[in-house]
């Protein structure tokens, strides 16, 4: 694991211990299991209409709301996250729901525990790519574990919303749109009792074209590109209403050419 990801893992574990790790406190995980539309927008949900009985992997599963929603749709779900503390909470919740989910602690850029050509659907996003120093390696691994013809669904917080300072009354750019980072910050500032400076965390900024190129370069054919939502989010400090909220990229893993085909 590279030094940025290892530092981020420690930060996420500390955040979970402090009660901040399960990011989306506005949605109840039990409700997501019963009703997938609690967590998936209709633009995404239509790709999961026949998820029942399918093998699905969620990368950077975090609060695992997507995992519970997909399990509720009848999918056989694997949940991957770098933070063992995130997975431990999700594991308990899965037991409470009585649903079998496979939990794997792993870096999304190195999924060696998972075999090639295994999943019908790989889903990732929310806020995962921002923690990853190599988007191309992340998506190559995602596509490697997909069956040929399988769906790769990326739904990320839109990069247009990432570049702003946390100022309330005016919009000021924190870093340029093309500045990849790493953008270092100190996670101990948000965790009571953490020693100042003890939790350096690293974020990376990917542009819209980088998301699309990394998905295609990983060996997929694009099926859908979409941007949707323009409401401010409760946790955002700057007033970002009017900017796109979500970037949705759906693609399909290319079939391998058959041997001897000309
Ligand atoms: C904000 S949460 C995302 C939660 C959820 N997917 C969503 O839609 O909001 C980010 C998650 O990514 C995980 N993560 C960060 N870097 C990772 C990496 N390199 N490999 C795997 N998971 C990672 C963190 O542990 C955290 O649980």
Model confidence over 24-53: pLDDT tens digits? 666 899 999 999 999 999 999 999 999 999
Q: Is residue 85 part of a domain?
A: yes
Distances (CA, A) of 246 to 79, 88, 185: 22, 28, 24
User: How does 121-146 read in b/e, with b if 16+ C-beta sit within 10 Å?
Assistant: bbbbbbebbbbbbbbebbbbbbbbbb
Q: What percent of the chain has pLDDT over 90?
A: 90
Q: Is residue 105 assigned to a domain?
A: yes
Domain-embedded: residue 217: yes
CA distance 137 to 106: 14
Indicate whether 259 belongs to any domain: no
Sorting pLDDT into bands at 50, 70 and 90, what band is 20? confident
Which atom of ligand 1 is closest in space to residue 9's alpha carbon? 25
Mutation probe of ligand 1 site: the residue of 40, 62, 64, 122 with most atoms within 8 A of C-beta = 62
* Atom of ligand 1 minimally distant from the CA of 86: 27
* pLDDT tier, 19 (very low <50, low <70, confident <90, very high otherwise): confident
Q: Is the pLDDT of residue 262 over 60?
A: no
The CB of 23 under 6 Å from ligand 1? The reply is yes
* CA–CA dist 79, 106 (Å, integer): 10
Taking residues 102-127, report their average pLDDT.
97
pLDDT of residue 169: 86
DSSP state of 21: -
Q: How many A from CA of 72 to the centre of ligand 1?
A: 21
**What is the arithmetic mean of pLDDT over 187-206?**
94
Largest CA distance in the chain: 65
Q: Which of 211, 246, 225 is nearest to 138 (CA)?
A: 211
**CA-to-CA separations, 237 to 90, 162, 168, 171, 199, in angstroms, rounded:** 28, 12, 6, 10, 22
Q: Is the CB of 86 under 6 A from ligand 1?
A: yes
Phi, psi angles (nearest 5°) of residue 249? -125, 120
Locate the ligand 1 atom nearest the alpha carbon of residue 21 and give its number.
Answer: 27
- End-to-end Cα, the chain, rounded Å: 41
Residue 258 falls inside a structural domain: no
Predicted local confidence at residue 24, as pLDDT: 65
Q: What is the pLDDT of residue 193?
A: 87
Domain span at 143: 3-253
Percent of the chain with pLDDT over 70: 95
Choice between 215 and 24, residue whose per-residue pLDDT is larger: 215
pLDDT band for position 1 (50/70/90)? confident
Query: Which ligand 1 atom is nearest residue 108's CA?
Result: 20
pTM recorded for the entire structure: 0.96
Q: What is the mean pLDDT of residues 166-195?
A: 94
Total tally of structural domains belonging to the chain: 1
Is residue 208 domain-resident? yes
| 261 CA distance to ligand 1 middle (Å) | 41
CA–CA dist 30, 197 (Å, integer): 36
Q: What's the whole-number mean pLDDT along residues 197-208?
A: 97
Supply the CATH number for residue 48's domain.
Answer: 3.40.50.150
Give a yes or no: residue 214 inside a domain.
yes
Q: Contact at 8 Å (CB) between 76 and 53?
A: yes
Is 262 within the bounds of a domain?
no
Task: List CB contacts of 29: < 8 A, sequence separation 6 or more.
Answer: 63, 64, 65, 68, 93
Express each pLDDT in 148-163 by its tens digit: 999 999 999 999 999 9
């Amino acid at each position: 694991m590279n030094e940025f990801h290892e530092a981020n893992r420690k930060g996420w574990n500390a955040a979970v211990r402090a009660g901040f790790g399960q990011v989306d406190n506005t949605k109840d995980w039990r409700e997501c299991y019963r009703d997938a539309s609690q967590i998936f927008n209709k633009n995404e949900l239509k790709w999961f209409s026949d998820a029942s009985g399918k093998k699905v992997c969620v990368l950077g599963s975090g609060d695992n709301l997507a995992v519970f929603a997909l399990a509720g749709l009848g999918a056989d779900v694997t949940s991957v996250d770098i933070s063992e503390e995130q997975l431990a909470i999700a594991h308990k919740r899965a037991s409470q729901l009585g649903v079998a989910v496979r939990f794997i602690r792993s870096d999304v850029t190195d999924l060696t525990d998972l075999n090639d050509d295994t999943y019908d659907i790989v889903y990732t996003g929310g806020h995962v790519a921002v923690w990853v120093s190599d988007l191309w390696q992340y998506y190559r691994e995602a596509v490697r574990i997909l069956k040929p013809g399988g769906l790769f669904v990326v739904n990320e917080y839109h990069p247009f919303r990432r570049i702003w300072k946390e100022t309330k009354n005016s919009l000021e750019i924190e870093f340029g749109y093309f500045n990849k980072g790493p953008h270092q910050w100190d996670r101990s500032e948000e965790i009571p009792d953490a020693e100042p400076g003890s939790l350096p965390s690293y974020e990376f900024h990917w542009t819209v074209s980088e998301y699309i190129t990394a998905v295609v370069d990983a060996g997929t054919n694009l099926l859908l590109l979409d941007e949707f939502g323009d409401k401010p989010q409760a946790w955002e400090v700057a007033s970002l209403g009017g900017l796109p909220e979500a970037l949705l990229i759906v693609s399909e893993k290319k079939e391998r050419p058959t041997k001897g085909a000309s």
